[in-house]
Amino acid sequence: MSELRHDPLNRRWVIIAGERAERPSDFELMVKPVETAEPCPFCDGHEAETPPEIFALRAPGSLPNGPGWSLRVVPNSYPALAIEGAADRRGVGVYDRMHGLGAHEVIIESPSHELDLADQPIEHLALVVRTWRDRIADLMRDVRFKYVLLFKNHGAPAGATVRHSHAQIIATPVIPRAVAVELEACRSHHELKERCLICDIVAQEVEDGRRIVALSESFVAFAPYASRFPFETVIAPRRHHHEFSQTTDGGLHAFAAILSDVLRRLKLLLRDAPYNFVLHTAPNTNVVPRRASYFTTLEYDWHWHVEILPRLTRVAGFEWGTEFHINPTPPEEAARLLREVEP
């Protein structure tokens, strides 16, 4: 019998339709690679096809914006937001408007066109996630930006337009609604119980064990109790930590290890299915101007985490009309199948 499950972090209900449970082999139609006949602008030797690099890991003696790199960060050629100017927020009757202020960067993870993030050696993956941390920290020094979101689209159904593995960062002058809901839920939980909501979720999932995908000394990966999508996975620090950009190099190496483990399990089990990867870190408390008492308890009530969302099912009219997602694979079953994979 199906269940409605409530997610206290995102304050939404999800329908777990267990009687419609589907195994990985049932999702074949959604697994489609990005097909293009155009030369890849992210490949080694095509550096002139991207804007000038913001940052790169390079071999000694190699020149900026040329070959010899192992990772590059460049502005997006078609940015969603522009970095120049001010937000200039103002009312338009009952509406509000502001300029399209922000930043939009692309992190090209490797010169190799064929290597996905799941294929990278852990040592290189640790350099990738360190670059994520450093770019987020740098953008948060800009007091115009309230939030910096890192995300990855893998595969055409997940929104990727270039097959070459890459992530993106967008800095915005407002806090995205999805993050704002989580922030409010965490703050309310802390006011009531004097504990971090995500710490409580992590502790309960570790104790329960049925939805655990992978576990290390520092991190946990689990299928959320109210998963929206089949094989949805969350990775979070096991100890309270609110700001990803303050993670130490040692912490990033431990994060890279469990991220590699989870991505390999997903790739093997789901046959390289498309997915979205989203990092939810703390908002920028240095933003100017800001409201009075702007997130003064953030250090205690917020907990950074990653969401990995395989795109195996389609969102249709019922989901859009109600914001109830229908998940045909119970998270307990998804976690069990992922644990059985040998990455």
Find the radius of gyration of the CA atoms of the chain. 20
End-to-end CA distance of the chain: 33
Measured between alpha carbons, how far is 112 from 62 in angstroms, rounded to an integer? 17
316, two tokens:
């249709």
Measured between alpha carbons, how far is 317 from 174 in angstroms, rounded to an integer? 28
Instruction: Yes or no: say if 204 and 222 are a contact pair by the CB < 8 Å rule.
Output: no
- CA 170 remoteness from chain centre: 12
Sole residue written with tokens 């299915």: 273
Is 166 an annotated catalytic residue? Answer: yes
How many residues are there in the chain? 343
* Annotated catalytic residue, options 124, 154, 166, 253: 166
Measured between alpha carbons, how far is 3 from 25 in angstroms, rounded to an integer? 23
Instruction: Yes or no: say if 158 and 36 are a contact pair by the CB < 8 Å rule.
Output: no
Phi, psi angle pair for 171, to nearest 5°: -100, 135
21, two tokens:
């449970």
Instruction: Yes or no: say if 237 and 304 are a contact pair by the CB < 8 Å rule.
Output: yes
Query: Before 289, cis peptide (omega within 30)?
Result: yes
The alpha carbon dihedral of 161, 163, 164, 166 has a sign of positive
199, two tokens:
């710490």
Which residues are identified as catalytic?
166
